[in-house]
Structure 1
């Protein structure tokens, strides 16, 4: 038992060194030379202010070459890459040197990971098409419209609890008490997750959020591994429970299709279920937290929304544009090709800096200004594009609109009660904590 534990620990350490330790070392060296991709990984100033980083490199051309690949902050180039059949998605560590990839393969933990096959984030047609088709019907605009009343009822209940529990202090961590609970409740209803399991999912999600990043520190890696392992174990049990007691939820439908031989393999089923569940709340948690912070810092824009509530959908698009919950994506060239006049070799990686593209002055006038009346706010790329466009975009938009509008209707005097803290992630951007003084509450609609 002790020997097995020691071997497992050594195996994990070796895996970390190959997957993250090497990248961290090279990123620190590259950062000293000003390499943009290295700075994305190692420079805390870039994490703190990604918009300034994008502006710093924008004048260098639509595509900027680093030591190990390329990066674009250009909206037109990003839009083209996301839709191009000449590029494919990347996977965790997939573009590292071959000796490191062999080590990563030999130390594979067997756990499902959001950016490793068969996750839809890391596969291409025809497998991607088949997997996506099976789940897409749940997230159409029409389907989300049918879910909207449930989203509103969930938001109102959470705000009732918030109002009651905050009596006497008036200050709460809005991320823990609202921004995280609303999306996890909604997606759990869609996927048949019992109420008793939702706190555990949130815990695993918080631990595993940096799993989309590369170059993790050893302590970060251990926390991520713990979160991913815990989520994998929970998901296996959840799917088994649904097999015994199926409902009318999406996962029960997928299980039925798989057992009939017309759906997914067992591994694909687990990967798809895990991705839909995790992605269904992770990005929306960030959207809600970012939105509350931004609106409280811009009372003039909040006043416009109170006067003209029909602007709420545009406000959500503007929040997504200015503080994208997903900051970047990546594509790999399938052949030698040119992008905006820059030669790109087969197998070369291009980082698509979504946050930078969303503030491209060629597309958005005065791009750093928060404007809930911006007529082209919806041209942002925060939901990616092409065949990998976010399946849950319509649901995230609905939750953002309902969640933010309902919060500010209930607590019109809310104000920031501290600086809060950002999540320790690079690909995802949001708040880990955000203290809010709620002020006097208004009665809930219909009460």
Structure 2
């Protein structure tokens, strides 16, 4: 279930109970990293100095604030992701900030529960559910979806040009990057009965409530749209009216390993994860791709017509600045990782963004090199059993978005405020919340 809060304290105070263990880094390294605040503005603005220090000084580091073990080396993260029996996915969707009783009441009244379905599912049912999802995001479907993506991108960019004509400036995040993947997902999965703006609002509220550090008052505000989202999903799944060729229709026909039909709660959990991941995180990726292309000297005009450049740029952004910056795992039993002894039940935070700048894998990682030979070695989509099933679609949407925007808007420049845009800074998600442009 997603809403029981993750206990942000270590399970105990000793090395055998979940606290710092032998080999967790020198005292100096732990002290120097003591000021690290994963939600603080310095880290959100530029996490790379902190990630570099973690990798070099304490690659498996116990963070006393969250109680999480921060794993930052590419090799160690890959090891964890490829061993799901030893490093369980059970905590992947747990709430980061404890949810107070008034918030839990709102969710309980809505019947909110998310049993293991996809990202947090380490049971035998995962493989079958994943096959349902991947049928909608396989290479053939993604290739067939390119005209859909291009059509929707063109429609949205027509609106952007109209706004630029009227005012001379525009925000490419709210007018383009955020909406494009939502509309594409709705068409590909056959989502009906809700408008894109509502789905975006619901999804963003879920991300902030479960992966953020909001105050209690803000948690209460967020709980209402999250509850409405879950209620709508539940009613849609239970109604049995979803088209047979839609995503919900496919879940309705799915059978569990023992032959039983998929229960409503698990179907809702699968929808909840796919609907959020399939549009919010892709919108965040597109926003970062556009902003960095606009501010990289000479890249914007080239992206419009140079074959392969948009795809290469997207891949380099995924390496250096992915929208999903971290992911969680929990140890099934006492184990050693990166020379550090971890107890059973240790909560791990895999620093995916940091792994993309590991100099052992990517030479000169601070430089943006769109045609790196080993670029696909990044871990932005994970690896192994739980690798993101929508990776191909996300890559394609971001490349189409960049190419279409650069072609349709050859005369835009990043506005002054684009240099330091407001940033989404959640435990596992980071992206610019504004991509301000203006006419030359």
Aligning the two structures, in what range does the TM-score lie when normalised by the shorter sequence? 0.7 to 0.9
2:179 aligned to 159, 178, 181, which one?
181
CA 1:44–1:288: 2 relative to 1, 3 Å? same
CA 1:106–1:301: 2 relative to 1, 3 Å? closer
Give the 3-state SS of the residue equivalent to 1:221 in structure 2.
helix
Show the counterpart of 2:72.
73
Show the counterpart of 2:40.
43
Show the counterpart of 2:277.
279
Instruction: Give the CA deviation at 1:351.
Output: 1.3
Q: How does 1:130-279 map to 2 (within 5 A)?
A: 130-194=128-192, 197-213=195-211, 215-240=213-238, 243-244=240-241, 246=243, 248-257=245-254, 263-279=261-277
Asked whether the 8 Å contact 1:414–1:437 carries over to 2, the reply is yes
Give the 3-state SS of the residue equivalent to 2:298 in structure 1.
helix
Rounded to whole Å, the distance in 2 between the matches of 1:352 and 1:289 is 23
Asked if residue 333 in structure 1 is aligned to residue 334 in structure 2, the reply is no
Show the counterpart of 2:436.
435
- Give the TM-score normalised by the residue count of structure 2: 0.83
Instruction: Give the CA deviation at 1:387.
Output: 1.1
Show the counterpart of 2:21.
none
Structure 2 spans left out of the alignment, 5+ residues: 11-29
- Residue range with higher mean Cα deviation, 215-224 or 264-273: 215-224
- Residue range with higher mean Cα deviation, 303-312 or 141-150: 303-312
2:392 aligned to 391, 394, 397, which one?
394
- Give the TM-score normalised by the residue count of structure 1: 0.82
Instruction: Give the CA deviation at 1:151.
Output: 1.0
Asked whether the 8 Å contact 2:78–2:383 carries over to 1, the reply is yes
Asked whether the 8 Å contact 1:318–1:378 carries over to 2, the reply is no
- Residue range with higher mean Cα deviation, 135-144 or 287-296: 135-144
- Residue range with higher mean Cα deviation, 141-150 or 180-189: 141-150
Rounded to whole Å, the distance in 1 between the matches of 2:130 and 2:102 is 28
Instruction: Give the CA deviation at 1:374.
Output: 2.0
Instruction: Give the CA deviation at 1:292.
Output: 0.8
Show the counterpart of 2:377.
379
User: For residues 2-22 of structure 1, what are the alpha-carbon distances to aligned partners after superposition, in whole Å with 9 as ceiling and x for unaligned?
Assistant: xxxxxxxxxxxxx99x76898
Show the counterpart of 1:444.
none
Instruction: Give the CA deviation at 1:35.
Output: 8.1
Show the counterpart of 2:91.
91
- Residue range with higher mean Cα deviation, 360-369 or 293-302: 293-302
Asked if residue 351 in structure 1 is aligned to residue 349 in structure 2, the reply is yes
Rounded to whole Å, the distance in 1 between the matches of 2:152 and 2:120 is 33
Rounded to whole Å, the distance in 2 between the matches of 1:340 and 1:52 is 21
Instruction: Give the CA deviation at 1:195.
Output: 7.7
Rounded to whole Å, the distance in 2 between the matches of 1:228 and 1:60 is 39
Q: How does 1:356-375 map to 2 (within 5 A)?
A: 356-375=354-373
Rounded to whole Å, the distance in 2 between the matches of 1:65 and 1:282 is 30
- Residue range with higher mean Cα deviation, 47-56 or 289-298: 47-56
CA 1:415–1:20: 2 relative to 1, 3 Å? farther
Instruction: Give the CA deviation at 1:65.
Output: 3.3
Q: How does 1:51-70 map to 2 (within 5 A)?
A: 51-67=48-64, 68-70=67-69
Rounded to whole Å, the distance in 2 between the matches of 1:21 and 1:186 is 37
User: For residues 190-243 of structure 1, what are the alpha-carbon distances to aligned partners after superposition, in whole Å with 9 as ceiling and x for unaligned?
Assistant: 2222385221111212222213425432133223312311211222343356x2
CA 1:125–1:337: 2 relative to 1, 3 Å? same
Rounded to whole Å, the distance in 2 between the matches of 1:102 and 1:384 is 32
CA 1:345–1:108: 2 relative to 1, 3 Å? farther
The root-mean-square deviation of aligned C-alpha atoms, in Å, is 3.3
Instruction: Give the CA deviation at 1:182.
Output: 0.6
- Residue range with higher mean Cα deviation, 325-334 or 61-70: 61-70
CA 1:305–1:435: 2 relative to 1, 3 Å? closer
Rounded to whole Å, the distance in 1 between the matches of 2:336 and 2:105 is 36
Rounded to whole Å, the distance in 1 between the matches of 2:152 and 2:39 is 40
Asked whether the 8 Å contact 1:118–1:267 carries over to 2, the reply is no
CA 1:382–1:130: 2 relative to 1, 3 Å? same
Query: How many pairs does the alignment contain?
Result: 410
Rounded to whole Å, the distance in 1 between the matches of 2:88 and 2:100 is 21
Rounded to whole Å, the distance in 1 between the matches of 2:333 and 2:103 is 25
Rounded to whole Å, the distance in 1 between the matches of 2:212 and 2:92 is 8
CA 1:93–1:296: 2 relative to 1, 3 Å? closer
- Residue range with higher mean Cα deviation, 36-45 or 269-278: 36-45
CA 1:104–1:132: 2 relative to 1, 3 Å? farther
